[in-house]
Structure 1
Amino acid sequence: MSAPEPTILATSGGHRIGDRTRVTFGALVHHAVHLSGVHGRRPRVMYVGTAIGDSEHFAARMGEAARVAGFDLTPLHLFPMPNLEDVAGAVLDQDVVWVMGGSVANLLAVWRVHQLDAVFRRAWEAGVVLSGVSAGSICWFQGGTTDSFGPELRPLTDALGFLPYGNGVHYDSDAGRRPLVHRLVADGTLPVTHCTDDGVGLVYRGTELVEAVTEIPGKGAYIVRRDGDSAVERRIEPRLLPSP
Protein backbone atom coordinates (compact mmCIF):
# COMPACT_ATOMS: atom_id res chain seq x y z
CA MET A 1 0.00 0.00 0.00
CA SER A 2 1.24 3.48 -0.84
CA ALA A 3 -0.16 6.95 -1.41
CA PRO A 4 -1.81 7.29 -4.84
CA GLU A 5 0.69 9.97 -5.90
CA PRO A 6 3.82 11.60 -4.42
CA THR A 7 2.73 13.05 -1.07
CA ILE A 8 4.40 15.33 1.48
CA LEU A 9 2.99 16.57 4.79
CA ALA A 10 5.18 19.46 5.94
CA THR A 11 4.49 20.56 9.52
CA SER A 12 5.29 22.67 12.53
CA GLY A 13 3.87 20.07 14.92
CA GLY A 14 3.02 16.43 15.45
CA HIS A 15 4.29 15.74 18.96
CA ARG A 16 3.00 16.49 22.44
CA ILE A 17 3.46 15.28 26.01
CA GLY A 18 1.55 12.06 26.58
CA ASP A 19 -0.60 11.04 29.52
CA ARG A 20 1.74 8.17 30.41
CA THR A 21 4.64 8.81 28.02
CA ARG A 22 7.07 11.66 27.53
CA VAL A 23 6.03 11.97 23.87
CA THR A 24 2.85 11.02 22.06
CA PHE A 25 1.93 11.42 18.41
CA GLY A 26 -0.50 14.22 17.67
CA ALA A 27 -3.06 14.43 14.92
CA LEU A 28 -0.50 15.47 12.28
CA VAL A 29 1.49 12.23 12.56
CA HIS A 30 -1.74 10.25 12.42
CA HIS A 31 -2.76 12.26 9.36
CA ALA A 32 0.51 11.36 7.62
CA VAL A 33 -0.39 7.71 8.17
CA HIS A 34 -3.91 8.35 6.86
CA LEU A 35 -2.49 9.94 3.72
CA SER A 36 -0.49 6.78 3.02
CA GLY A 37 -3.73 4.81 2.59
CA VAL A 38 -2.52 1.92 4.74
CA HIS A 39 -5.22 -0.39 6.09
CA GLY A 40 -5.54 -3.98 7.27
CA ARG A 41 -2.18 -4.00 9.07
CA ARG A 42 -0.06 -1.93 11.41
CA PRO A 43 1.34 1.19 9.69
CA ARG A 44 5.09 1.20 9.08
CA VAL A 45 6.68 4.51 10.05
CA MET A 46 10.36 5.38 9.77
CA TYR A 47 11.68 7.88 12.31
CA VAL A 48 14.69 9.94 11.13
CA GLY A 49 16.48 11.88 13.86
CA THR A 50 19.50 13.12 11.91
CA ALA A 51 18.77 16.77 12.74
CA ILE A 52 19.29 16.11 16.46
CA GLY A 53 22.31 13.87 15.98
CA ASP A 54 20.33 10.62 16.26
CA SER A 55 19.64 11.29 19.94
CA GLU A 56 19.10 7.86 21.49
CA HIS A 57 16.83 9.07 24.29
CA PHE A 58 14.49 10.81 21.85
CA ALA A 59 14.45 7.81 19.53
CA ALA A 60 13.36 5.74 22.54
CA ARG A 61 10.57 8.21 23.27
CA MET A 62 9.40 8.03 19.67
CA GLY A 63 9.40 4.26 19.89
CA GLU A 64 7.15 4.44 22.92
CA ALA A 65 4.85 6.90 21.16
CA ALA A 66 4.63 4.51 18.20
CA ARG A 67 3.76 1.59 20.50
CA VAL A 68 0.90 3.58 22.01
CA ALA A 69 -0.31 4.65 18.54
CA GLY A 70 -0.18 1.11 17.16
CA PHE A 71 2.55 1.82 14.60
CA ASP A 72 5.61 -0.27 13.73
CA LEU A 73 8.49 2.22 14.04
CA THR A 74 11.85 1.79 12.32
CA PRO A 75 14.47 4.30 13.43
CA LEU A 76 17.07 5.31 10.85
CA HIS A 77 20.36 6.28 12.49
CA LEU A 78 23.37 7.58 10.57
CA PHE A 79 25.71 8.09 13.54
CA PRO A 80 28.29 6.59 13.82
CA MET A 81 27.20 4.57 10.78
CA PRO A 82 23.85 3.57 9.26
CA ASN A 83 22.06 1.15 11.55
CA LEU A 84 20.39 -0.64 8.63
CA GLU A 85 22.14 -2.87 6.09
CA ASP A 86 19.87 -1.84 3.20
CA VAL A 87 18.86 1.76 3.86
CA ALA A 88 17.13 2.28 0.51
CA GLY A 89 15.17 -0.94 0.83
CA ALA A 90 14.08 -0.08 4.35
CA VAL A 91 12.93 3.41 3.34
CA LEU A 92 10.96 2.08 0.37
CA ASP A 93 9.25 -0.47 2.65
CA GLN A 94 7.69 2.27 4.81
CA ASP A 95 4.27 3.88 4.67
CA VAL A 96 5.53 7.15 6.20
CA VAL A 97 8.92 8.75 6.80
CA TRP A 98 8.79 11.17 9.74
CA VAL A 99 11.78 13.53 10.08
CA MET A 100 12.50 15.16 13.42
CA GLY A 101 13.38 18.84 13.81
CA GLY A 102 16.76 20.26 14.76
CA SER A 103 19.54 21.46 12.46
CA VAL A 104 18.35 21.34 8.87
CA ALA A 105 21.81 22.37 7.61
CA ASN A 106 23.47 19.42 9.35
CA LEU A 107 20.66 17.09 8.28
CA LEU A 108 21.14 17.97 4.61
CA ALA A 109 24.91 17.56 4.74
CA VAL A 110 24.73 14.12 6.37
CA TRP A 111 21.93 12.93 4.10
CA ARG A 112 23.90 13.89 1.00
CA VAL A 113 27.01 12.06 2.20
CA HIS A 114 24.88 8.91 2.49
CA GLN A 115 22.95 9.63 -0.75
CA LEU A 116 19.68 9.79 1.15
CA ASP A 117 18.58 12.71 -1.00
CA ALA A 118 18.25 10.28 -3.92
CA VAL A 119 16.72 7.57 -1.73
CA PHE A 120 14.02 9.88 -0.41
CA ARG A 121 13.19 11.09 -3.92
CA ARG A 122 12.69 7.47 -4.99
CA ALA A 123 10.50 6.84 -1.99
CA TRP A 124 8.44 9.99 -2.62
CA GLU A 125 7.89 9.01 -6.24
CA ALA A 126 6.93 5.49 -5.12
CA GLY A 127 4.19 6.75 -2.78
CA VAL A 128 5.92 6.72 0.61
CA VAL A 129 4.54 9.74 2.47
CA LEU A 130 7.37 12.11 3.42
CA SER A 131 6.67 14.16 6.51
CA GLY A 132 8.24 15.81 9.51
CA VAL A 133 8.43 18.83 11.75
CA SER A 134 10.51 22.02 11.50
CA ALA A 135 13.83 20.91 9.93
CA GLY A 136 11.87 17.84 8.86
CA SER A 137 9.57 20.20 6.96
CA ILE A 138 12.06 22.66 5.46
CA CYS A 139 14.20 19.85 4.02
CA TRP A 140 11.63 18.97 1.33
CA PHE A 141 11.46 22.56 -0.04
CA GLN A 142 13.89 24.89 -1.82
CA GLY A 143 14.82 26.38 1.54
CA GLY A 144 13.62 28.48 4.43
CA THR A 145 14.72 30.21 7.60
CA THR A 146 16.87 28.39 10.12
CA ASP A 147 18.81 28.73 13.37
CA SER A 148 21.19 25.95 12.23
CA PHE A 149 24.10 28.39 12.16
CA GLY A 150 23.46 30.16 15.46
CA PRO A 151 20.74 31.91 17.47
CA GLU A 152 20.26 34.58 14.78
CA LEU A 153 17.99 33.25 12.04
CA ARG A 154 19.55 32.93 8.60
CA PRO A 155 18.36 31.82 5.16
CA LEU A 156 18.96 28.33 3.86
CA THR A 157 18.54 27.93 0.10
CA ASP A 158 19.98 24.50 -0.78
CA ALA A 159 17.39 22.08 0.62
CA LEU A 160 16.25 19.04 -1.38
CA GLY A 161 13.86 21.00 -3.59
CA PHE A 162 11.23 18.32 -4.06
CA LEU A 163 8.75 21.17 -3.59
CA PRO A 164 9.50 24.38 -5.58
CA TYR A 165 8.72 26.78 -2.73
CA GLY A 166 10.29 28.23 0.37
CA ASN A 167 9.08 27.03 3.76
CA GLY A 168 8.54 29.02 6.94
CA VAL A 169 8.08 27.02 10.14
CA HIS A 170 7.09 28.12 13.67
CA TYR A 171 5.56 31.19 12.08
CA ASP A 172 3.65 32.29 15.18
CA SER A 173 5.98 31.18 17.96
CA ASP A 174 9.34 32.60 16.85
CA ALA A 175 9.10 36.36 16.43
CA GLY A 176 11.95 36.54 13.94
CA ARG A 177 10.55 34.08 11.42
CA ARG A 178 7.79 36.16 9.76
CA PRO A 179 9.82 39.34 9.09
CA LEU A 180 12.77 37.34 7.77
CA VAL A 181 10.54 35.31 5.43
CA HIS A 182 9.04 38.55 4.12
CA ARG A 183 12.48 40.07 3.54
CA LEU A 184 13.84 36.97 1.80
CA VAL A 185 10.81 36.68 -0.47
CA ALA A 186 10.89 40.42 -1.24
CA ASP A 187 14.56 40.36 -2.29
CA GLY A 188 14.22 37.10 -4.24
CA THR A 189 16.36 34.94 -1.93
CA LEU A 190 13.37 32.64 -1.45
CA PRO A 191 10.64 31.87 -3.99
CA VAL A 192 6.95 31.87 -3.06
CA THR A 193 7.04 30.61 0.52
CA HIS A 194 4.51 28.45 2.39
CA CYS A 195 4.44 28.96 6.15
CA THR A 196 2.89 27.20 9.14
CA ASP A 197 1.98 28.23 12.67
CA ASP A 198 2.82 25.68 15.34
CA GLY A 199 0.45 22.72 15.06
CA VAL A 200 -0.24 23.23 11.34
CA GLY A 201 0.66 21.03 8.38
CA LEU A 202 0.59 21.48 4.61
CA VAL A 203 -0.43 18.59 2.34
CA TYR A 204 1.14 18.35 -1.13
CA ARG A 205 0.14 15.94 -3.89
CA GLY A 206 3.00 16.01 -6.33
CA THR A 207 4.16 19.61 -6.03
CA GLU A 208 0.67 21.08 -5.59
CA LEU A 209 -0.48 22.37 -2.20
CA VAL A 210 -3.91 20.76 -1.78
CA GLU A 211 -4.79 21.42 1.87
CA ALA A 212 -3.73 22.95 5.16
CA VAL A 213 -4.58 20.99 8.32
CA THR A 214 -4.11 21.65 12.02
CA GLU A 215 -4.11 19.83 15.32
CA ILE A 216 -4.63 23.09 17.26
CA PRO A 217 -7.73 25.29 16.76
CA GLY A 218 -7.21 28.88 15.63
CA LYS A 219 -3.85 28.34 13.95
CA GLY A 220 -3.06 29.40 10.40
CA ALA A 221 -1.06 28.69 7.27
CA TYR A 222 0.26 31.41 4.96
CA ILE A 223 1.49 31.96 1.43
CA VAL A 224 4.03 34.75 1.01
CA ARG A 225 4.63 36.10 -2.50
CA ARG A 226 6.84 38.80 -3.97
CA ASP A 227 5.05 41.97 -5.10
CA GLY A 228 7.52 44.39 -6.63
CA ASP A 229 10.11 45.15 -3.98
CA SER A 230 7.98 43.88 -1.09
CA ALA A 231 6.18 40.72 0.02
CA VAL A 232 2.48 40.09 0.48
CA GLU A 233 1.00 37.43 2.74
CA ARG A 234 -2.23 35.47 2.34
CA ARG A 235 -3.64 33.43 5.22
CA ILE A 236 -5.10 29.96 4.63
CA GLU A 237 -7.54 28.58 7.19
CA PRO A 238 -6.54 24.99 7.98
CA ARG A 239 -8.99 22.14 8.49
CA LEU A 240 -9.04 20.97 12.11
CA LEU A 241 -8.01 17.33 12.34
CA PRO A 242 -9.80 14.97 14.71
CA SER A 243 -7.94 14.09 17.91
CA PRO A 244 -6.23 10.69 17.66
Structure 2
Amino acid sequence: MSAAHPTILATSGGLLRGHRTELEFAPLLHHAVELSGVHGRRPVVCHVGTAGGDQRWFNAAVSEAGQLAGVEVRHLNLFPMPPTADLDDYVRSSDVVWVNGGSVANLLAVWRVHGLDAVFRRAWESGVVLGGVSAGSICWFRGGTTDSFGPELRIVDNGLGLLPYGNGVHYDSEAARRPAVHAGVASGELPDTYCTDDGVGLVFRGTDLVEAVTERPGKGAYLVTADQAGDGVTERRIEPRALV
Protein backbone atom coordinates (compact mmCIF):
# COMPACT_ATOMS: atom_id res chain seq x y z
CA MET A 1 0.00 0.00 0.00
CA SER A 2 1.20 3.51 -0.76
CA ALA A 3 -0.27 6.99 -0.93
CA ALA A 4 -2.27 7.63 -4.09
CA HIS A 5 -0.19 10.70 -4.94
CA PRO A 6 3.32 11.88 -4.03
CA THR A 7 2.77 13.18 -0.49
CA ILE A 8 4.81 15.27 1.93
CA LEU A 9 3.88 16.28 5.48
CA ALA A 10 6.22 19.12 6.49
CA THR A 11 5.93 20.04 10.17
CA SER A 12 7.09 21.75 13.30
CA GLY A 13 5.93 18.85 15.46
CA GLY A 14 5.25 15.11 15.48
CA LEU A 15 6.78 13.73 18.67
CA LEU A 16 5.86 14.38 22.31
CA ARG A 17 7.26 13.50 25.70
CA GLY A 18 5.55 10.30 26.76
CA HIS A 19 3.55 9.55 29.89
CA ARG A 20 5.45 6.34 30.63
CA THR A 21 8.00 6.43 27.82
CA GLU A 22 10.59 8.97 26.73
CA LEU A 23 8.62 9.81 23.55
CA GLU A 24 5.22 9.22 21.99
CA PHE A 25 3.95 9.74 18.47
CA ALA A 26 2.01 13.01 18.42
CA PRO A 27 -1.02 13.51 16.15
CA LEU A 28 1.09 14.87 13.26
CA LEU A 29 3.15 11.68 13.06
CA HIS A 30 0.01 9.57 13.35
CA HIS A 31 -1.39 11.64 10.47
CA ALA A 32 1.66 10.84 8.32
CA VAL A 33 0.90 7.16 8.85
CA GLU A 34 -2.76 7.72 7.97
CA LEU A 35 -1.76 9.47 4.75
CA SER A 36 0.10 6.31 3.66
CA GLY A 37 -3.22 4.45 3.46
CA VAL A 38 -1.96 1.30 5.21
CA HIS A 39 -4.65 -1.10 6.43
CA GLY A 40 -4.57 -4.64 7.76
CA ARG A 41 -0.93 -4.69 8.88
CA ARG A 42 1.55 -2.73 10.95
CA PRO A 43 2.69 0.37 9.06
CA VAL A 44 6.46 0.71 8.55
CA VAL A 45 8.03 4.06 9.45
CA CYS A 46 11.60 4.70 8.36
CA HIS A 47 13.07 7.07 10.92
CA VAL A 48 15.99 9.21 9.71
CA GLY A 49 18.10 10.89 12.39
CA THR A 50 20.95 12.20 10.23
CA ALA A 51 20.42 15.82 11.29
CA GLY A 52 21.12 14.87 14.90
CA GLY A 53 24.02 12.53 14.17
CA ASP A 54 22.13 9.21 14.34
CA GLN A 55 22.03 9.16 18.14
CA ARG A 56 21.30 5.60 19.21
CA TRP A 57 19.56 6.62 22.45
CA PHE A 58 17.12 8.71 20.42
CA ASN A 59 16.58 5.85 17.98
CA ALA A 60 15.66 3.65 20.93
CA ALA A 61 13.15 6.22 22.18
CA VAL A 62 11.54 6.46 18.72
CA SER A 63 11.37 2.66 18.48
CA GLU A 64 9.63 2.51 21.86
CA ALA A 65 7.19 5.22 20.74
CA GLY A 66 6.50 3.27 17.56
CA GLN A 67 5.80 0.09 19.49
CA LEU A 68 3.30 2.00 21.62
CA ALA A 69 1.66 3.36 18.45
CA GLY A 70 1.44 -0.07 16.78
CA VAL A 71 4.00 0.88 14.14
CA GLU A 72 7.16 -0.91 12.99
CA VAL A 73 10.08 1.53 13.12
CA ARG A 74 13.31 1.03 11.19
CA HIS A 75 16.24 3.42 11.42
CA LEU A 76 18.18 4.70 8.42
CA ASN A 77 21.50 5.32 10.18
CA LEU A 78 24.34 6.65 8.05
CA PHE A 79 26.97 6.65 10.83
CA PRO A 80 29.26 4.77 10.66
CA MET A 81 27.78 3.35 7.44
CA PRO A 82 24.35 2.75 5.84
CA PRO A 83 22.47 -0.37 6.97
CA THR A 84 22.33 -1.83 3.45
CA ALA A 85 23.82 -1.50 -0.01
CA ASP A 86 20.30 -1.15 -1.45
CA LEU A 87 18.97 2.10 -0.01
CA ASP A 88 16.27 2.27 -2.68
CA ASP A 89 14.68 -0.93 -1.41
CA TYR A 90 15.20 0.02 2.24
CA VAL A 91 13.33 3.31 1.80
CA ARG A 92 10.72 2.25 -0.75
CA SER A 93 9.67 -0.78 1.31
CA SER A 94 8.64 1.66 4.05
CA ASP A 95 5.26 3.40 4.19
CA VAL A 96 6.49 6.64 5.77
CA VAL A 97 9.86 8.35 6.00
CA TRP A 98 10.09 10.56 9.08
CA VAL A 99 13.11 12.87 9.33
CA ASN A 100 13.95 14.41 12.71
CA GLY A 101 15.45 17.81 13.43
CA GLY A 102 18.96 19.09 13.91
CA SER A 103 21.37 20.47 11.32
CA VAL A 104 19.71 20.67 7.91
CA ALA A 105 23.01 21.76 6.31
CA ASN A 106 24.81 18.65 7.59
CA LEU A 107 21.85 16.43 6.73
CA LEU A 108 21.81 17.56 3.11
CA ALA A 109 25.56 17.10 2.70
CA VAL A 110 25.58 13.57 4.15
CA TRP A 111 22.50 12.52 2.19
CA ARG A 112 24.08 13.58 -1.08
CA VAL A 113 27.26 11.63 -0.36
CA HIS A 114 25.11 8.48 -0.15
CA GLY A 115 22.79 9.34 -3.06
CA LEU A 116 19.77 9.72 -0.81
CA ASP A 117 18.62 12.85 -2.63
CA ALA A 118 17.74 10.63 -5.60
CA VAL A 119 16.50 7.78 -3.40
CA PHE A 120 14.01 10.00 -1.60
CA ARG A 121 12.75 11.50 -4.88
CA ARG A 122 12.04 8.03 -6.25
CA ALA A 123 10.35 7.00 -3.00
CA TRP A 124 8.17 10.14 -3.07
CA GLU A 125 7.19 9.49 -6.67
CA SER A 126 6.28 5.89 -5.81
CA GLY A 127 3.92 6.86 -2.97
CA VAL A 128 6.05 6.65 0.17
CA VAL A 129 4.91 9.49 2.43
CA LEU A 130 7.79 11.83 3.25
CA GLY A 131 7.58 13.81 6.47
CA GLY A 132 9.54 15.33 9.27
CA VAL A 133 10.06 18.13 11.72
CA SER A 134 12.26 21.24 11.55
CA ALA A 135 15.35 20.21 9.54
CA GLY A 136 13.22 17.23 8.49
CA SER A 137 10.72 19.70 7.06
CA ILE A 138 13.07 22.21 5.39
CA CYS A 139 14.96 19.43 3.56
CA TRP A 140 12.05 18.71 1.17
CA PHE A 141 11.88 22.35 0.02
CA ARG A 142 14.28 24.53 -1.97
CA GLY A 143 15.51 25.99 1.31
CA GLY A 144 14.71 27.92 4.44
CA THR A 145 16.15 29.56 7.52
CA THR A 146 18.55 27.55 9.67
CA ASP A 147 20.81 27.74 12.72
CA SER A 148 23.01 25.00 11.23
CA PHE A 149 25.96 27.40 11.01
CA GLY A 150 25.57 29.19 14.35
CA PRO A 151 23.08 31.06 16.54
CA GLU A 152 22.45 33.72 13.88
CA LEU A 153 19.97 32.36 11.35
CA ARG A 154 21.15 31.97 7.78
CA ILE A 155 19.52 30.87 4.54
CA VAL A 156 20.12 27.35 3.28
CA ASP A 157 19.24 27.20 -0.42
CA ASN A 158 20.28 23.69 -1.48
CA GLY A 159 17.34 21.64 -0.22
CA LEU A 160 16.15 18.64 -2.19
CA GLY A 161 13.62 20.86 -3.98
CA LEU A 162 10.83 18.31 -4.20
CA LEU A 163 8.67 21.27 -3.21
CA PRO A 164 9.61 24.44 -5.14
CA TYR A 165 9.11 26.78 -2.18
CA GLY A 166 10.92 27.98 0.90
CA ASN A 167 10.06 26.68 4.35
CA GLY A 168 10.04 28.35 7.75
CA VAL A 169 9.77 26.30 10.94
CA HIS A 170 9.19 27.12 14.63
CA TYR A 171 7.59 30.30 13.40
CA ASP A 172 5.98 31.25 16.72
CA SER A 173 8.45 29.87 19.25
CA GLU A 174 11.75 31.36 18.04
CA ALA A 175 11.62 35.14 17.71
CA ALA A 176 14.24 35.40 14.95
CA ARG A 177 12.45 33.04 12.55
CA ARG A 178 9.73 35.34 11.18
CA PRO A 179 12.01 38.33 10.40
CA ALA A 180 14.60 35.99 8.85
CA VAL A 181 11.98 34.50 6.52
CA HIS A 182 10.65 37.94 5.62
CA ALA A 183 14.16 39.20 4.83
CA GLY A 184 14.96 36.12 2.74
CA VAL A 185 11.78 36.39 0.67
CA ALA A 186 12.14 40.17 0.25
CA SER A 187 15.72 39.79 -1.01
CA GLY A 188 14.89 36.95 -3.37
CA GLU A 189 17.10 34.46 -1.51
CA LEU A 190 13.94 32.48 -0.77
CA PRO A 191 10.99 31.88 -3.10
CA ASP A 192 7.41 31.96 -1.82
CA THR A 193 7.78 30.40 1.63
CA TYR A 194 5.40 28.25 3.67
CA CYS A 195 5.83 28.47 7.45
CA THR A 196 4.54 26.54 10.46
CA ASP A 197 4.01 27.38 14.10
CA ASP A 198 5.04 24.64 16.53
CA GLY A 199 2.54 21.78 16.29
CA VAL A 200 1.45 22.57 12.73
CA GLY A 201 2.02 20.59 9.53
CA LEU A 202 1.55 21.22 5.81
CA VAL A 203 0.18 18.44 3.58
CA PHE A 204 1.36 18.58 -0.03
CA ARG A 205 0.15 16.29 -2.80
CA GLY A 206 2.60 16.60 -5.61
CA THR A 207 3.71 20.20 -5.25
CA ASP A 208 0.27 21.53 -4.27
CA LEU A 209 -0.64 22.41 -0.69
CA VAL A 210 -3.90 20.65 0.10
CA GLU A 211 -4.26 21.61 3.76
CA ALA A 212 -2.60 22.65 6.97
CA VAL A 213 -3.19 20.53 10.08
CA THR A 214 -2.40 21.08 13.74
CA GLU A 215 -1.96 19.10 16.94
CA ARG A 216 -2.10 22.31 19.04
CA PRO A 217 -5.15 24.59 19.18
CA GLY A 218 -4.69 28.20 18.13
CA LYS A 219 -1.56 27.63 16.05
CA GLY A 220 -1.22 28.64 12.41
CA ALA A 221 0.51 28.17 9.08
CA TYR A 222 1.54 31.02 6.79
CA LEU A 223 2.52 31.83 3.23
CA VAL A 224 5.06 34.62 2.78
CA THR A 225 5.36 36.11 -0.70
CA ALA A 226 7.27 39.04 -2.13
CA ASP A 227 5.31 42.23 -2.82
CA GLN A 228 4.94 42.97 -6.51
CA ALA A 229 6.60 46.33 -5.89
CA GLY A 230 9.68 44.41 -4.78
CA ASP A 231 10.22 46.29 -1.53
CA GLY A 232 8.62 44.02 1.07
CA VAL A 233 6.57 40.89 1.70
CA THR A 234 2.99 39.85 2.30
CA GLU A 235 2.20 37.23 4.93
CA ARG A 236 -1.08 35.30 4.70
CA ARG A 237 -2.27 33.06 7.51
CA ILE A 238 -3.51 29.58 6.56
CA GLU A 239 -5.94 28.26 9.16
CA PRO A 240 -5.11 24.62 9.99
CA ARG A 241 -7.54 21.80 10.57
CA ALA A 242 -7.34 20.42 14.11
CA LEU A 243 -6.21 16.80 14.37
CA VAL A 244 -7.29 16.57 18.02
- Displacement, 1:87? 1.6
1:236 aligns with 2:238: yes
In 2, Cα distance between the equivalents of 1:26 and 1:85?
32
**Count of residue correspondences:** 242
In 2, Cα distance between the equivalents of 1:67 and 1:141?
30
In 2, Cα distance between the equivalents of 1:174 and 1:156?
17
Unaligned runs of 5+ in 2: none
Unaligned runs of 5+ in 1: none
The answer for the alignment partner of 2:15 in structure 1 is: 15
- Displacement, 1:83? 1.8
1:97 aligns with 2:92: no
SS of 1:123's equivalent in the other structure is helix
SS of 1:165's equivalent in the other structure is strand
- Displacement, 1:51? 0.2
TM-score for the superposition, normalised by structure 1: 0.98
User: 1:77-125: CA deviations, max 9, x gaps?
Assistant: 0001012342210100011000000000000000000000000000000
The answer for the alignment partner of 2:163 in structure 1 is: 163
In 2, Cα distance between the equivalents of 1:167 and 1:161?
11
- Displacement, 1:229? 1.2
SS of 2:97's equivalent in the other structure is strand
The answer for the alignment partner of 1:78 in structure 2 is: 78
Letter in 2 for 1:41: R
- Displacement, 1:17? 0.7
In 1, Cα distance between the equivalents of 2:178 and 2:51?
22
In 1, Cα distance between the equivalents of 2:193 and 2:87?
31
In 1, Cα distance between the equivalents of 2:40 and 2:231?
53
In 2, Cα distance between the equivalents of 1:15 and 1:219?
16
The answer for the alignment partner of 1:62 in structure 2 is: 62
Aligned CA-pair RMSD: 0.6
Contact 1:76 1:84 (8 Å CA) reproduced: no
Letter in 2 for 1:189: E
